[in-house]
Amino acid sequence: MDERKPEERKADVTCDSASSSTSFDFIRTIIERDRADGKNEGRVHTRFPPEPNGYLHIGHAKSICLNFGIAAQYKGLCNLRFDDTNPSKEDVEYVDSIMEDVRWLGFDWADRLFYASDYFEQLYQYAIGLIESGKAFVCDLSAEEIREYRGTLTLPGRESPYRGRTVRENLDLFKRMRDGEFEDGSRTLRAKIDMASGNINMRDPVIYRIQRTSHHRTGDDWCIYPMYDYAHCCSDSIEGITHSICTLEFEDHRPLYDWYLEQLGIFHSQQIEFARLNLTYTVMSKRKLLQLVEEGYVTGWNDPLMPTISGLRRRGFTPESIRNFCDTIGVAKRDSTVSIDLLNHCLREDLNKRAPRVMAVLHPLKVVIDNYPEGRSEEVEAVNNPEDPEMGSRMLSFSKEIYIEKSDFMEDPPGKFFRLSPGREIRLKHAYFIKCESVVKDDLTGEVKELHCTYDPETGSGQAPDGRKVKGTLHWVSAEDGVKATVRLYQHLFTSEDPGAAGDFKETINSDALEELTDCVVEPVLTDSSPGDHFQFLRNGYFCTDTDSRPGAPVFNRTVGLRDSWAKIQNK
């Protein structure tokens, strides 16, 4: 009984009295029903089946979270299986990166790492069975001819002239295909189904093709390789996969998936299709991502601008935030495009709890505190994270010259500007109130070069003894021990919410997506950070140390900005 309600994740949701308000997505609904029916003895076994022909992206994360998540929820298993049936596009580089990314996301396939290529011999034997039962034949039509014979979406196809070969002849020819007697592309093994089917996948699909390409795992053992439709369902069957979850574009392939398993009479996995993830301002197809990499629009698969798992990781995303995002978006069958804002929300939610706060000035403006004693410096205490007292505090040194953010000063401010301006007093975070007394400008350009302020020694606690208030609190870095740093700011990679909508997606690439600031000044603690460390740069956003960072020359990526209500006011 208990195992019928394994909603562990939602266990802490109030389940008051009779009406259990738990709702399942359509996949879990199917699984619940299957379990209730005793199908597969109640077993739940899924798999994540990437083709190693590119890096994983956030869309894959949705599938990974679904497959591994469902397995965990129902105390089942989830395999990692590489769908490596096309050696011309695949590479070990991708195999390695995929494993790294799945692990980083927090999932574990234990000892269940498989490759479709593990099953090549079994698949070959199955194919012989198909030939023997008259369900497959060797076809001598060229690729072009097959296309012609296939018909069109509205017109039925014609049967191959080789469709009537005897079992004996097919067996002989298929063996010789394997033995390498024929040219690449000269023959195929095809299923004998229905050339008039409205479903083009059923018009005698190719099962095996001849291709002399070294395979990254099987080397030159094979010169024939099975097609996806055939290899995938058989692999699922061999592994005892109960629920084979894939994306919507394979819906049309399900009849073929079922056909192969039925003809073969082997364990029948159930294919279930869901809508793939689309994100605003993002392209998600591996083909397009490959193009961005190969044509140099980004620095690589792990460019922080990329929606790849490795790109998001370098950008500073956490696995928790991605998993939480995948839970939040749910799963359904309708095409949808999730707002990138939701991803960013999940990110901030996580980082807000865990990222230590530090001060970093991105666009420094020097401030001289005229009444602060020359040569003196003092230590002030700064909490590391107001959300989590356990993260403790650190000491900062404060002295006569500091830097503040250029945008925190306006000579002639509009009404709702709460920051520094001539004659106005603000608070320096963790330190004193200062008041702007005068402005030093460049004679030629009029640019503000330096501010002269006075501080109130009585306000060291952050409060004024006389009770006077300030509107704003600014972050700052002491000029004396601030460390110079490079900071990379990112915008969306595309200027269009739907990059592919109006023709070529590359035309909507945002050439200003990366802005590199080389004159930033950060707190000295940041010199010790290592790649991947997360921080909140107070009032600026969440940042992480980049892999390009070097001792004495730190580099940070802005992972995501803070919600900025001042920016909203300005935009009105």
H-state helical runs in 117-222: 120-132, 143-150, 167-178
Which stretch, 385-393, 503-511, 523-531, 552-560, contacts RNA (CB under 7 A)? Answer: 385-393
As beta bridge partners, residue 514 has: 490
What are the residues facing 436 on neighbouring strands? Answer: 453
The reply on whether position 192 binds RNA by CB under 7 A is no
User: Residue 46 or residue 303: which is nearer to RNA going by CB?
Assistant: 46
The active-site residue out of 32, 51, 251, 497 is 51
Q: Return the ∠ at Cα 290 (arms to 287 and 294), rounded to 5°.
A: 140
Binding of RNA at residue 20 (CB under 7 A)? no
**Helices then strands, each counted (H, E), the chain:** 13, 25
Find the binding residues for RNA in span 121-150 (CB under 7 A). Answer: 141-143, 146-147, 150
253 touches 227 (CB < 8 A): no
- Distance in Å, CB of 404 to RNA, minimum: 11
- Active-site pick, 39, 43, 158, 276: 276
**Which residues fall within 8 angstroms of residue 285, CB to CB, at 6 or more apart?**
none
Quick one: 26 or 531, whose CB is closer to RNA? 26
286 noted as active-site residue: yes
Q: Pick one of 158, 366, 429, 435: the residue that binds RNA (CB under 7 A).
A: 429
Binding residues for RNA, rule CB under 7 A, total 92
Site for RNA in 68-107 (CB under 7 A): 83, 85-86, 89
Cα distance between residue 532 and residue 540, in whole Å: 18
Q: Which of 32, 169, 258, 349 binds RNA (CB under 7 A)?
A: 349
**Residue 213 or residue 454: which is nearer to RNA going by CB?**
213
Show contacts with RNA in window 439-478 (CB under 7 A).
461-463, 472-475
Q: Identify which of residues 224 and 303 has a Cβ nearer to RNA in the complex.
A: 224
Nearest to 79 by CA among 105, 114, 53, 106: 114
Q: Which of 445, 511, 530, 565 binds RNA (CB under 7 A)?
A: 565
Which two structure tokens, joined as six digits, stand for 112? 């269940």
Nearer to RNA, 341 or 442 (CB): 341
Strand order in the sheet with 360-361: 357-358, 534-537, 541-545, 555-560, 483-490, 514-522, 360-361
Cβ distance to RNA smaller for residue 35 or 419: 419
Catalytic status, residue 378? no
- The Cα–Cα gap between 311 and 92 comes to 19
- The stretch near RNA (CB under 7 A) out of 71-79, 304-312, 548-556, 563-571 is 563-571
- Tokens, residue 43: 């077993």
Q: Of 125, 214, 336, 438, which lies in the binding site for RNA, with binding defined by CB under 7 A?
A: 336
Q: How far is CA 95 from CA 45, 76, 212, 309, 520, in A?
A: 22, 24, 21, 14, 38
Which 494-533 residues touch RNA, going by CB under 7 A? none
Hey, which residues between 390 and 419 contact RNA (CB under 7 A)? 416-419
Residue 334 touching RNA (CB under 7 A) = yes
By CB under 7 A, what part of segment 355-384 binds RNA? 357
> Is residue 544 within 8 Å of 533, Cβ to Cβ?
yes
Nearest to 518 by CA among 550, 486, 481, 565: 486
Nearer CB in complex with RNA: 183/374: 183
Question: Judged by CB, which is closer to RNA: 122, or 473?
Answer: 473
Separation CA 230–CA 256 (nearest Å): 8
Residue of the chain from 188, 242, 244, 508 that contacts RNA (CB under 7 A): 188
Question: Can you read off the two tokens belonging to residue 558?
Answer: 């802005």
Listing DSSP states for 258-317 in one string gives: HHHHHHHT----EEEEEPPP-BTT----HHHHHHHHHTTSSSSTT-TTS-BHHHHHHHT-
- 209 counts as binding RNA under rule CB under 7 A: yes
Closest approach, Cβ 275 to RNA, in A, equals 6
Stretch that binds RNA, among 201-209, 214-222, 308-316, 445-453 (CB under 7 A): 201-209
Q: Restricting to residues 265-304, name those near RNA by CB under 7 A.
A: 275
Nearer to RNA by Cβ, of 231 and 453: the residue is: 231
Strands 483-490 and 514-522: antiparallel
Encoded amino acid at 251, one letter: E
- Minimum CB–partner distance for residue 40 and RNA (Å): 23
Smallest distance from RNA to CB 82, Å: 9
Examine residue 248 and tell whether it contacts RNA (CB under 7 A). yes
Among 7, 25, 320, 498, binds RNA (CB under 7 A): 25
The verdict on whether 276 is a catalytic residue reads: yes
- Residue 212 is a binding residue for RNA (CB under 7 A): no
Q: How far is the CB of 148 from RNA (least distance, A)?
A: 9
Distance between CA 108 and CA 68 in Å, rounded? 8
Task: Using alpha carbons only, give the angle 110, 119, 255 rounded to the nearest 5 degrees.
Answer: 100
Q: Which two tokens stand for residue 386?
A: 């107001």
Binding segment for RNA (CB under 7 A), chosen from 7-15, 121-129, 195-203, 300-308, is 195-203
Point out the residues that are catalytic: 51, 276, 286
